[in-house]
Each structure stands twice: as C-alpha cells, then as structure tokens.
Structure 1
C-alpha cells in the first residue's frame, strides 16, 4: 500500500548545519551575531567590544579556539574557548542567529566545543552568564555544567557562574 504524505514538494531543502573551526572571513559574522544577542538583552560592554573587534588576537592567538555553526555558507552560530591563567578554559561568545534558534544549534555548538576541549587536553571549562538567559542555563546544565560560587567578572551582566570537569 502506498501512502502519500504531501502533494507539495519543497522548492529548496534547508541546508545542513555543520560546526567547524573559525576562519578569518568569519570575523564579521562572529561580531554581528554576538553584538546582536548581547544588545538584545544587555548593554554591550567594553570587554565585548575588545574581543569582538579582534577575535583572532584576543581569542585564538593566546591559545583559544573559535567555532562556528554554518547553514550552507551562512554563519548562524558561534562559540569560543579562551585560556585562563589556572590552566582551565572559559566558554565565551555563544550566540545563535534568531532565525535559527530553537533548532538545536546551540546544543550542537556546545557539544562540539566540549569534544574539541577534551581532544585538546583541557580538563575544565567554565562560563559566566546571566539569570535572564534561562534557556541557556538549562542547556549548560543538561550537558553537565554545575553552578559554582560567584567570582569577579569583567561583565556587569554576569551573575551565574558554572563549570564542567572534562
């Protein structure tokens, strides 16, 4: 027996989403995606401006890594790992385009970053976020991040602190 589910054939299939390492030409998308989400919920702060203006110099050159989620040629999400003075790394600048939110892109980026951190021999990841970002906090908790006591932060918006042992 043959079942016909739909007579409509989509004109174009949505592109597959992949996660990869940042390339120089991704810098503008990295800046725009992060500036957009930060400005939507908070105020863009000076540490944001510095990092977003020079992601290679401020993140990659000191030993960090940046990852991007792409749909075809379009960068639709970002996250990065920055080294800390104690040997751990911080997960920073996680952003997903509003058009792509709710489709698991953030989870895909986060799991990719954790796997890459493990392969690089990183033993601990930490992050700072805000209580206003409940869905982000839930995502972090769902992959094993635990809440830790507050510590000094360069960001006024940071009031939730988490880490995961790898």
Structure 2
C-alpha cells in the first residue's frame, strides 16, 4: 500500500494530536515548561485566535506531525515557526520538510517578511532541516524557554 502524506489545516479534531506530538519530543529531550503548557493546552486561544496557524501532517489519515506559525512579539519578525513535532514512527519520510515548506508558504501568504524560530543544539536533525529551509542563526535574542540555546531567522523578502 502506498503511503499518503498530506498537510491539512488544524481543526479541533487535532487538538489532542497537537499536544501529544509536541509533548513526545519535549519530554524525550527536555522538560515541559510553563509556555509549553499554555500553548499546548489551548492552541485555539494561544495561537489561532491571535492570527496564527497550525499545519497538521497526516500519514494515511493519521496525524503524525504538527507545526505552528505564531504571531511574533519581537519587533523584527512577523511570525515564529514553533511547536514542530513529527512522531518517531513517521520520521525519515520527509514529513518535517513538508511541514516546514507548508508553514513558510503560509507565512508568505499572510504577508510575513521575516520568520523566527528557537531550538536547541542537541536537536541536530531539526537544525539541519531548518538550515535546508533557509534559516540562519542569529545571536542575542532572549527566550522564554530554558531549553532554547539557538535562535534562527528566515528572510522571506529574498525568496
């Protein structure tokens, strides 16, 4: 059977998947922080109602990946790429790249000029993906997350 991968817009039906897919990687590598609880327990209020967007990757109809576009509170950025997670059982199928490209396209459609993200250097596959998508490291940005030790940006005006 051929595997069917599609990226769809978040709906209430994916609330538990959004939380579970993010908790899975956060707990594996770090610990849940207050900002995680806020966004994962209420993506509608924290992300969508503020003008954000969440893409959901489906593998044969099952939610196996998620990624959010959150309006940025930083002066130089329009949105933040955040809460990207792909289930370990679906990794290696290019789902992270598809999600990343989808979120970048959505950011452009929303008029975004600069996209921001935060990560951690131990997440090497994620950092490699971000670099392939065109993100470059920036220095000097503060973070509400203890685990964040790298910040990156993507200038969409040059694409």
When the two structures are superposed, what TM-score results if normalisation uses the length of structure 2?
A: 0.94
Q: Displacement of 1:15 after TM fit?
A: 3.3
Do the aligned residues in 2 keep the contact of 1:77 with 1:96 (CA within 8 Å)? yes
- Which residue is equivalent to 1:68? 56
1:154 equivalent among 135, 144, 148: 144
Could you list the runs of 5+ residues in structure 2 that have no partner in the other structure? none
User: Do residues 51 (structure 1) and 39 (structure 2) align?
Assistant: yes
- Which residue is equivalent to 2:68? 80
- Which residue is equivalent to 1:24? 12
CA distance in 2, matches of 1:154, 1:131: 16
CA distance in 2, matches of 1:79, 1:150: 25
RMSD over aligned Cα, in angstroms? 1.0
- Count of aligned positions: 154
Q: Displacement of 1:150 after TM fit?
A: 3.2
Displaced runs of 4 or more, over 3 A: none
Q: Displacement of 1:14 after TM fit?
A: 4.2
- Which residue is equivalent to 1:99? 89
Structure with larger Rg:
1
CA distance in 2, matches of 1:14, 1:99: 16
When the two structures are superposed, what TM-score results if normalisation uses the length of structure 1?
A: 0.90
Could you list the runs of 5+ residues in structure 1 that have no partner in the other structure? 1-12
